[in-house]
Structure 1
Amino acid sequence: MHPLVVAGLKFRFVKADSVFIGENRGGWIYAGQRPRHEVKCPDFYIMNSPLTLQELSNILDSELSPEDETTWNQERLTAIISIMNQALTEISHELDSDYQWEIRCPTQSEWIHAKNCEQIILQTGMKEILADAVSSNYRGAMMDGRPRRFEGRGPMQWHTATMEIHPKNPSIYALSSAPMDRQNIGLSVRLVVTPIRQGSPRIVPRSADYGANIRSELFWTTMLGVIPSFAIPWFRGLGDYVTEGWVNLLFGGLCVGFVTGAFWRPRRPVITYEDGVQQ
């Protein structure tokens, strides 16, 4: 597919495919990155690199200062996207007429899918703005690549998700966030031309199997903490201490078992698109 050009900006084609987001490792430290789930992205177009100062000047038809390239808030971002969507109507005949199209920042799934397809260049030390709202984990996440909206109230509603690139190694990146109700320095914007998802979304199930999780935790805490706590003094010939100091051994075993849970537990199931819940 040939690149798509909108208002002088080139967008590369990314073919529809599935991408897997999140972690399935069972340790508690990965709780905010679970569950690992499949997202089905449609065909879309993405900028190879974030907006430059010259490109921003051309869009706004005005001279900008150097710091304007990496200084963003919600008002400024909304204005740029509005201008680009107006320009999109002029070349809509080049797009698949079966869909309605829009320009916005990429979602996390679109961003990762484009990276996996080697269609984007990453800038070290930057934070790229995403279209997703912030969330504590992937429960309730969209499985068709549409933006996730903020759920709840509080100051985090003014934040947006970002992809933060390592200062030296562009192959290392992590999901982060940035407040958009004020000026932020050090942000960059990459845009996508993507179909507007219609109808109710398919989402990651909002609740886990708590019963299975509790049973697993009790089992592994016993196996990795409690049993060794009693077995070690027994095999060392301290049988009297096992019977007399069992409270201390039990407490110590529980502590060890809980600590191991922070770093290791069996991997959790991966949620496929078919396992999602239709809203």
Structure 2
Amino acid sequence: MSSIEWISVGPGSTYLGSNNRAIVLGAPGPRHEVSIQYSYEISKEALPLSEVLKLSDSTSLSISSESEWQLAYDRGLITEGTGIEILQDRISSSYWGKICDGRAFLVDGPNLEICRQWVRSKAAPKYMPSDAKSPKLARLVRRDAREPNPMAPRLPKNPPRRRMIFEEVSIITLLGIIPSFLWAHFNASPGYIATGWPGLVLGGVILGLLSGLFWRPKQPTWWAEGSKMFPRR
């Protein structure tokens, strides 16, 4: 452990998650602020995961949380790496319910490992099954012992479903159903709309849903204010 070179990181804020909820081009969201109110040290180099696990089991060191890793990266303190770095966090499909004070986000049940993948000197988020066979690295963190803050800001446990349903209905109507009827109006035989409207509606719904593979409106970013989180566009 004496050979590990450490980087000091002071308190600060960083942003995680995506505000793009498209199925193919998007990523787990929502985008949110994390406010870290403590200082810590992170290892300058990523180590083999097996070595990191041994050290974390026998010492007070731990694998870096995603928030701690990202704050150091945003400040230019982590500047290079290789391959895939595993973080302490685990996610199912979103960050809803996360406590945003720097601690790792862990969910029960089936989950994905949150990682950072280095490509051309840049690190990007990556989510992968825990049983993936890729070689894995990780960075250690050491911090003072502290009690969890019971007033730490936290994302709502569930997304705003009413707003999302309204958004989906609007998109399906504007991008699917209305164009479907316009096409029939200008191209189909007389009387087709009167008899074939169920098919036009169904086709429009399918078209609108398929648009979600590649596009959905930009979602709000959640900001920390005191002990609460608020959405802003």
TM range (shorter): 0.7 to 0.9
Aligned counterparts of 1:136 and 1:30: Cα–Cα separation in 2: 15
Aligned counterparts of 2:187 and 2:222: Cα–Cα separation in 1: 46
Q: Is the 8 A contact 2:90 2:114 kept in 1?
A: no
Which residue is equivalent to 1:66?
A: none
Provide the secondary structure at the position in 2 that maps to 1:203: coil
Look at both structures and tell me which one has the larger radius of gyration over its CA atoms. 1
After superposition, where does 1:12-31 map in structure 2 within 5 Å?
Answer: 12-29=7-24
- Whether 1:193 aligns to 2:142 is yes
Aligned counterparts of 1:128 and 1:32: Cα–Cα separation in 2: 18
Aligned counterparts of 1:31 and 1:256: Cα–Cα separation in 2: 19
Tell me the CA shift for residue 31 of structure 1: 7.1
Gap runs ≥5 in structure 2: none
Larger helix proportion of the pair: 1
After superposition, where does 1:231-270 map in structure 2 within 5 Å?
Answer: 231-236=182-187, 238-270=189-221
Identity among equivalent positions (%) equals 25
Aligned residues: 225
Instruction: Give the alignment partner of residue 276 of structure 1, picking from 210, 229, 233.
Output: 229
Which residue is equivalent to 2:157?
A: 206
Which residue is equivalent to 2:66?
A: 108
After superposition, where does 1:140-159 map in structure 2 within 5 Å?
Answer: 140-152=97-109
Provide the secondary structure at the position in 2 that maps to 1:33: coil
After superposition, where does 1:1-279 map in structure 2 within 5 Å?
Answer: 7-29=2-24, 33-41=28-36, 42-51=38-47, 70=48, 72=50, 77-85=52-60, 103-124=61-82, 126-152=83-109, 161-166=113-118, 168-177=119-128, 179=130, 186-195=135-144, 196-200=146-150, 201-236=152-187, 238-274=189-225, 275-276=228-229
Once the two structures are superposed, residues 247-275 of structure 1 have per-residue CA deviations (whole angstroms, 9 ceiling, x without a partner) of 22111111101111232222222111134
Aligned counterparts of 2:120 and 2:140: Cα–Cα separation in 1: 23
Aligned counterparts of 2:105 and 2:159: Cα–Cα separation in 1: 19
Aligned counterparts of 1:26 and 1:127: Cα–Cα separation in 2: 24
Q: What is the root-mean-square deviation of aligned Cα atoms in Å?
A: 2.8
Gap runs ≥5 in structure 1: 1-5, 52-69, 86-102
Q: Check 1:227–1:211 CA distance in 2 against 1; reply closer, same or farther (3 A cut).
A: same
Q: Is the 8 A contact 2:10 2:39 kept in 1?
A: yes
Aligned counterparts of 1:110 and 1:250: Cα–Cα separation in 2: 49
Once the two structures are superposed, residues 188-243 of structure 1 have per-residue CA deviations (whole angstroms, 9 ceiling, x without a partner) of 13112234353324321111221111111111100100000001231347443222
Q: Check 1:140–1:237 CA distance in 2 against 1; reply closer, same or farther (3 A cut).
A: closer
Larger strand proportion of the pair: 2
Aligned counterparts of 2:172 and 2:24: Cα–Cα separation in 1: 16
Q: Is the 8 A contact 1:71 1:184 kept in 2?
A: no
Q: Is the 8 A contact 2:14 2:34 kept in 1?
A: yes
Q: Check 1:228–1:105 CA distance in 2 against 1; reply closer, same or farther (3 A cut).
A: same
Q: Check 1:177–1:257 CA distance in 2 against 1; reply closer, same or farther (3 A cut).
A: closer
Of 224-233 and 132-141, the range deviating more from structure 2: 132-141
Aligned counterparts of 2:165 and 2:192: Cα–Cα separation in 1: 30
Q: Is the 8 A contact 1:15 1:44 kept in 2?
A: yes
